[in-house]
Homo-oligomer: A and B are copies of this chain.
Amino acid sequence: MKKKTTIGDIAQQLGISKTTVSFVLNGKAREKHISESLEKKILDHITKVGYQPNQFAQGLRSGKTKIIGMMVEDISDPFFSSVARLIEENAYSRGYKIIYCSTENDTQKTKDLIQIYRTRQVDGYIIAPPPGIEKEINDLIDDKLPVVLFDRTIPGVETSNVVVNNYEAANDAILHFIQNGYRNIGMVTLNSDQVQMQERQEGYIDALKRIKAEPVIKKIIYHDDKENSIREIQSFLTENKQLDAVFFATNYIADNGLESIRNLKLIIPNDIGVIVFDDHNLYRLFTPSITAISQPIREISENSINLMLEMLEDDYDFSSVKSVLLKSSLIVRESSLAKG
Interface residues of A (CB under 8 A from B): 1, 52, 54-57, 59-60, 65, 74-76, 78, 81-82, 84-85, 88-89, 92, 97-102, 113, 116, 119-121, 142-145, 255, 258-259, 262, 280-282, 284-287
Contacts and interface: CB of A to CB of B under 8 A. Distances in A.
Nearest to A112: B92
Nearest to A86: B76
Contacts of A116: 92, 97
Given A78-B78, A258-B282, 15 more contacts: A1-B144, A52-B119, A54-B60, A54-B121, A56-B60, A75-B75, A75-B88, A81-B81, A88-B101, A89-B102, A97-B120, A255-B281, A255-B282, A259-B285, A286-B286
A153 B98 CA distance: 26
Looking at A85, A89, A102, A142, which has the most chain B CB atoms within 10 Å of its CB?
A: A85
Given A54-B60, A57-B60, A280-B282, A102 B78 contact: no
A145 B120 CA distance: 22
Contacts of A280: 282
Nearest to A115: B52
5 tightest A-B contacts by CB? A56-B60, A1-B143, A56-B59, A287-B287, A52-B119
A100 B100 contact: yes
Contact of A286 (B52, B56, B285): B285
A20 to B, nearest CB: 22
Contacts of A54: 60, 121
Contacts of A75: 75, 81, 84-85, 88
A287 B286 contact: yes
A88 to B, nearest CB: 6
Nearest to A285: B258
B97 A99 contact: yes
Contacts of A84: 75-76
A286 B60 CA distance: 54
A119 B55 contact: yes
A71 to B, nearest CB: 12
18 contacts: A1-B142, A52-B119, A55-B119, A55-B120, A55-B121, A56-B57, A56-B60, A56-B121, A81-B81, A92-B113, A97-B116, A97-B120, A98-B100, A99-B99, A255-B281, A259-B285, A280-B282, A286-B286
A228 to B, nearest CB: 16
A99 B144 CA distance: 24
A42 to B, nearest CB: 19
A259 B52 CA distance: 47
A88 B84 CA distance: 15
A252 to B, nearest CB: 10
Given A60-B54, A75-B81, A99-B99, A255 B285 contact: yes
Contacts of A102: 85, 88-89
A137 to B, nearest CB: 15
A208 to B, nearest CB: 27
Nearest to A79: B76
Contacts of A101: 88, 92
Contacts of A143: 1
Nearest to A52: B119
